């Protein structure tokens, strides 16, 4: 399971449609908040999210 194929997420991007915010290390910009779509744990549906 190598996830090295994907580049690190932009540190300036903060998605509005979020269920949870988590602190991640971004290196240059230091610690920033990235949106984690953990709908399975919260049970909430994101605004504009495709309905199943």
Question: For 2-44, how does the pLDDT look when each residue is reduced to its tens digit (9 = 90+)?
Answer: 556 665 555 445 455 555 555 554 455 444 444 544 444 444 4
- Largest CA-CA distance found in the chain, in angstroms, rounded: 38
Residue 50 banded pLDDT, cuts 50, 70, 90: low
Interatomic CA distance for residues 5 and 3, integer angstroms: 5
Q: Looking at residue 6, what is its pLDDT?
A: 60
Residue 25 located in a structural domain:
yes
Residue 52 located in a structural domain:
no
The domain tally of the chain equals: 1
Residue 48 located in a structural domain:
no
Residue 26 located in a structural domain:
yes
Residue 47 located in a structural domain:
no
Indicate yes or no: pTM above 0.85. no
Which residue range(s) make up the domain with 35? Answer: 7-39
Residue 27 located in a structural domain:
yes
Residue 51 located in a structural domain:
no
């Amino acid at each position: 399971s190598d996830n090295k194929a994907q580049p690190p997420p932009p540190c300036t991007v903060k998605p509005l449609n979020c269920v949870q915010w988590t602190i991640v290390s971004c290196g240059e910009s230091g610690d920033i908040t990235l949106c984690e779509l953990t709908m399975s744990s919260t049970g909430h549906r994101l605004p504009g999210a495709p309905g199943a």
